[in-house]
Chains A and B, each alone.
Chain A
Amino acid sequence: MDIEISGDGRIEGLAAEHNGHVNVSGDTTINVTGETEAAGISANDGSSVAVNGLSTINATALSGDASGVVANASSDIALTGGGSITVDAANGNAYGAYAYNGSTINAEIGAITATSTSEGEAVGIGADNGSDVTVTGLNGLTVTANGGNAAGLWADGYGKISVAMSGDISVTSTSPVEMAGIGVAGIGAVANSDVTVTGLNNLTARGEQPRCGRCINRGWQHRRH
């Protein structure tokens, strides 16, 4: 099954809301492009989405937030297939897979790439407010923020993340903003949360010095003038 959608507003590939349930079997590719927001798979308000055979999710927001997989408000998402998730957000936040408010994500995912190209944070995998995210088969996680903070894995408020992987985690922000003491975190857990990672090879966390216009024009790394 190929799902390809683009348009104004928030664009979602597979979505379930208000106790809705979506089940898909077979090789599944999802490409979504939203003028303001984009989500490859979304479950909200007691809903569930199950995809047995996920191949690819590409979610692009031209001016807003973009999520590969997002579950909110006691919702559940289950994925098999070991596909890849690529998220690009311009002028917004980029999230690979994120569960909020008592939700769960249980997924076989081969690779996650989340990029906020300007003015936004980027997170690879997140669990917030009692949510639970389990990812298996992950070969690599790459997170880049070009105008905000960045985290590879981030759990908050009794959130729980479990990742079984065999590759690297790379997290970069080209202009981290001091917020609650965190600019860039490879792996972060706060407020009674729990993160467990098995098989991680290299963890790279990189925060770059924001460059002023003078440095950009000259191709310099930032220096004091």
Chain B
Amino acid sequence: MFVLGGELNASNDVSITADSYNASRYTNAAGTGSRVTIDGDTDIDMTGPDTADVFGVYAALGATVTLITMWT
């Protein structure tokens, strides 16, 4: 997980796997006021080349991403 000036919250069974090269980032919150919240059984799988960034979840410049599992 990558946080730069933002806020990232993850709870419960978040599974993140990465078959990644240097540029790959899994979950990213960049910039003041940016937030990523992941709550629940979410699997994030990533593969990236070394020529461009690959993000599972990305929030920047005051943006917010929220992932919520629907519990059954």
A binds B: yes
Report the separation of the CA atoms of residues A184 and B47 in the bound assembly, to the nearest whole angstrom: 10
A208 touches B47 (CB 8 A): yes
| Interface size range of chain B in the complex | 20 to 34
Query: With the chains together, A195 CA to B47 CA distance in Å?
Result: 23
Judged by a CB distance under 8 angstroms, whether B68 is at the interface is yes
Interface residue? A87 (CB, 8 A): no
Measured between beta carbons, the chain B residues less than 8 angstroms from A38 are none
Contacts of B24 in A (CB 8 A): 207
B35-72: CB near A (< 8 Å → 1, else 0) gives: 00000011111111111111111111111111111100
Are B70 and A189 closer than 8 Å at their CB atoms? no
* In the bound complex, CA of A210 to CA of B51 (Å): 8
Q: How many A-B residue pairs have CB under 8 A?
A: 139
> Interface residues of B: mostly helix, strand, loop or mixed?
strand
Contacting pair B42 A201 (CB below 8 A): yes
CB-nearest residue of chain B relative to A165? B70
A155 to B58, CA, bound (A): 10
B46 touches A190 (CB 8 A): no
Chain B residues at the A interface, C-beta cutoff of 8 Å? 23-24, 33, 41-70
Q: Enumerate chain A interface residues (CB-CB to B < 8 A).
A: 149, 155, 164, 166, 173, 176-178, 181-210, 222
Nearest 8 pairs of A and B residues by beta carbon: A183-B52, A189-B63, A176-B52, A209-B49, A207-B54, A188-B58, A184-B54, A192-B62
